[in-house]
Amino acid sequence: MIEVEALTKRYGGFTAVRNLSFSVRPGEVLGLVGPNGAGKTSTLRCLAGVIPASAGTIRIAGHDLATDPVAAKRALAFFPDEPRLFDYLTVRQHLAFVARIYGVARHEELAKPLLEELELVEKADVLPGELSRGMKQKLVIACGLLHSPSVIFFDEPLTGLDPLAIRRMKDSIMRRARGGAAIVLSSHLLHLLEEVCTHVLILKKGDKVADGTIAEVAAQFSNGEPDVNLEEVFIRATGGSET
């Protein structure tokens, strides 16, 4: 469960996110969309506790991120757009390290199916330098999912993945949601969001433009037209800005 109330993020005199409120319940997948510079990454980073919010409250799985960050972070996983790995830890050692940080007992049993699912078994003993970008992305995902988080944040999760991996990733996101995870997904790939998300939140210059189920948001910007897709909704909502 993610509860965000009046979230504001300022960088000096510039406000990246202004008074943002929304919630994501277990089983829901929220798509965070907006033009470049809308505040998507700032929002995700605040939600994951990577950067502090300037104002507002964020509750992750019932824990206030500001006052009880350790408990809140224990429940979440954050996947940044750029895979960041430790240069001298092999794939298997990354999993062992993360297991210790999150206190995951019997992590080897959990890691095995993850590595198989992400096709990393053959690369288990190599360093990140020998992995392709897609493989690195998969390793980051494996590390993030090892502690079975109930709240997951994805920032452009499909970057660098091959078509098969994209399909698997989409399946994985939906499976996690069906398993009760609350997921927030930021992406410019609107067809992905249409396919995967139950809800959508559109940001523009740090302000919330629309929020609700895809059908509700579509209805809000359809002008009475039937079958308006998310791309059209996005263009109308953001005043024609490119993604």
Partner 1 sequence: MIGALLYLRLMSLRNLVVYRIGRLRQPKYLVGTAVAVAYFYFVLLQRPAMQGVPAAGRAPAVAGAGMIGMALVCVGMSALALIRIAFAWIAPADKPALRFSEAEIAFLFPAPVTRRALIHFRLLSAQFAILFTSVLMAFFFNRLGNVGGNRAQQAVGWWVVLSTYDLHLNATNLTLARLREKASGFLLWRAAAVAAIVLYAIAVAWSAASFAGGIQPGDLASARGADGLVPGLLRSSPLRWLILPFSIVFGPYFAAGMRDFGLAMIPALLLLALHYYWVSSSEASFEEGSIALAEKRTAARAAVQRGELPSIGSSRPRGRAGPFPLSPSGPPETAFLWKNLLSMRSSLLNRRTVLVFLWIILCVSLGLRPLLAEYARSNRAEAYGLLIVAFCGIVAAYTLLIGPQITRQDLRNDLQNAEILKTYPIEGWRLALGELLAPTAVLSLVLWICIIVSIFALDPKGEARWLTPGVRVTIILCLGSAAPLLCLMQLIVPNAIMVLLPAWYQASRSRGAGIEMFGQRLIFGVAQFLLALLVAVPAACAAALIIFSLQWVFGAVPAIAMASAVVLAILAGEAAVGLWWIGWRFEKFDLSMDK
103, 113, 226, 240: residue in contact with partner 1 (rule CB under 8 A):
103
Which are the contacts of 1, defined by CB distance < 8 A and separation ≥ 6? 23, 24, 25, 26, 59, 60, 61, 62, 150, 151, 182
Task: Give the Cα separation of 83 and 79 in Å (integer).
Answer: 8
Per-residue contact flags (x/-) with partner 1 for residues 2 to 31, judged by CB under 8 A:
---------xx-------------------
78 binds partner 1 (CB under 8 A): yes
112, 121, 125, 179: residue in contact with partner 1 (rule CB under 8 A):
125
Number of residues that bind partner 1 (CB under 8 A): 43
Task: Give the Cα separation of 211 and 199 in Å (integer).
Answer: 7
Per-residue contact flags (x/-) with partner 1 for residues 41 to 70, judged by CB under 8 A:
-x--x--xxxxx----------------xx
Tokens of 175: 């499976």
End-to-end C-alpha distance for the chain, whole angstroms: 28
23, 26, 27, 126: residue in contact with partner 1 (rule CB under 8 A):
126
Of 80-88, 112-120, 161-169, 229-237, the window that binds partner 1 (rule: CB under 8 A) is: 80-88
Strands 182-186 and 199-204: unpaired
